[in-house]
């Protein structure tokens, strides 16, 4: 085995261990009664808005697949695309954006609908690019303007975040310039052309709205008037990327630790932790349960059809 997988495994264990240690330290200062009290204090209207925003975001996430299929010049009924996109997105958010989750599910459906293995690989790579384009747009603006500096307990100092924001915006600008020029790119003997500027703008909008919605959902669950939306956005951006980079399924533990560390100076740790846990249950676990039922129902229907 090469050294690279061992490095990734070691990094994942290290980050998860550090996150669990921090959460354990915070939990020692928090009682179950405090967590329960905050959960009961969340107004039903804010909870309803959070759920509505989550549904709307999963709906707009279908544009990941729509844009990728448009780039591949494939047309499929939107109902089919939305079905596979929701299932794949729900699994990817909980397990991780790997072949074992969203990629394998998309391969299962899209191969049956006429896409080749090479086209599906391109589709998945395009979605990874869309994720980075949206992150570069939102995080670049957020960090470059100093929004992240307000969360002084993030693992990256404010000056470092400003530099990262500038680099991300420069990369985003370079990407749009490349899309405007439309050069032919050769990767491992295969020829590719970047998407049109219109599709690239769609990538930035689709993924960007995803990041903004995630921060909005968590903000709705926090005590009103205690922390600004941009502070929550900065914390979510760093925490979500750290969770993906850690290779821990769904960033479980890593995401929670960073958000609690970033926001607890301004909000009681019990309120932050209970809000983050509720956010994970409603936006991660609940859609995963629905997606699992849809996937089992689809597979069962396929088996019955073959048995006839």
What SS3 string covers 79-142? HHHHHHHHHHHHHHHHHCCCHHHHHHHHHHHHHHCCCCHHHHHHHHHHHHHHHHHHHHHHHHHH
Can you say how many angstroms the Cα of residue 286 is from the centroid of all Cα atoms in its chain? 16
Residue corresponding to tokens 């991300």: 168
pTM: 0.85
Boundaries of every domain in the chain:
49-307
Compute the distance between CA of residue 31 and CA of residue 36 in angstroms, rounded to an integer.
Answer: 9
Contact 168, 136 (CB under 8 A): yes
Angle, CA 25 vertex, CA 50 and CA 281 arms, to 5°: 25
pLDDT value at position 2? 46
Q: How far apart are CA 134 and CA 209, in angstroms?
A: 8
Give kind and range of the element (H or E) at residue 9.
helix 3-27
Beta-carbon contacts of residue 135 (< 8 Å; ≥ 6 apart): 168, 207, 211, 237, 241
Instruction: State residue 22's pLDDT score.
Output: 60
Residues sharing a CB contact under 8 Å with residue 40, sequence separation 6 or more, in sequence order: none
Residues of the chain with pLDDT under 50: 1-2, 99-100
Distances in Å between the Cα of 93 and the Cα atoms of 87, 90, 139, 170, 247 are: 10, 5, 19, 28, 12
Residues in the chain: 308
In this predicted structure, what is the pLDDT of residue 216? 96
């Amino acid at each position: 085995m090469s050294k690279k997988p061992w490095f990734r495994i070691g990094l994942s264990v290290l980050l998860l261990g550090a996150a669990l240690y921090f959460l354990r330290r915070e939990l020692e200062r928090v009682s179950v009664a405090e967590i329960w009290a905050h959960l009961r204090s969340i107004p039903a209207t804010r909870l309803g808005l959070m759920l509505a925003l989550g549904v709307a975001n999963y709906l707009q996430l279908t544009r990941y697949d729509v844009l990728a299929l448009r780039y591949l010049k494939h047309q499929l009924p939107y109902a089919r695309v939305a079905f596979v996109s929701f299932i794949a997105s729900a699994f990817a958010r909980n397990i991780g954006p790997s072949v074992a989750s969203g990629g394998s599910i998309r391969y299962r459906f899209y191969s049956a609908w006429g896409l080749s293995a090479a086209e599906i690989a391109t589709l998945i790579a395009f979605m990874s690019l869309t994720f980075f384009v949206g992150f570069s747009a939102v995080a670049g603006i957020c960090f470059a303007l100093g929004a992240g500096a307000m969360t002084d307990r993030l693992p990256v100092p404010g000056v470092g975040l400003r530099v990262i924001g500038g680099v991300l915006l420069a990369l985003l600008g370079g990407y749009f310039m490349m899309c405007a020029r439309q050069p032919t790119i050769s990767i491992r003997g295969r020829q590719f052309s970047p998407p049109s500027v219109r599709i690239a703008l769609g990538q930035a909008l689709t993924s960007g709205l995803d990041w903004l919605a995630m921060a909005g959902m968590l903000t709705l669950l926090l005590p009103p008037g205690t922390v600004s939306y941009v502070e929550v956005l900065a914390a979510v951006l760093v925490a979500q990327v750290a969770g993906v980079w850690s290779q821990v399924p769904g960033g479980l533990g890593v995401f929670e630790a960073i958000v609690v560390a970033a926001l607890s100076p301004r909000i009681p740790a019990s309120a932050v932790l209970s809000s983050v846990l509720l956010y994970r249950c409603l936006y991660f676990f609940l859609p995963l349960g629905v997606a699992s039922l849809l996937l089992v129902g689809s597979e069962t229907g396929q088996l019955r059809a073959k048995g006839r």
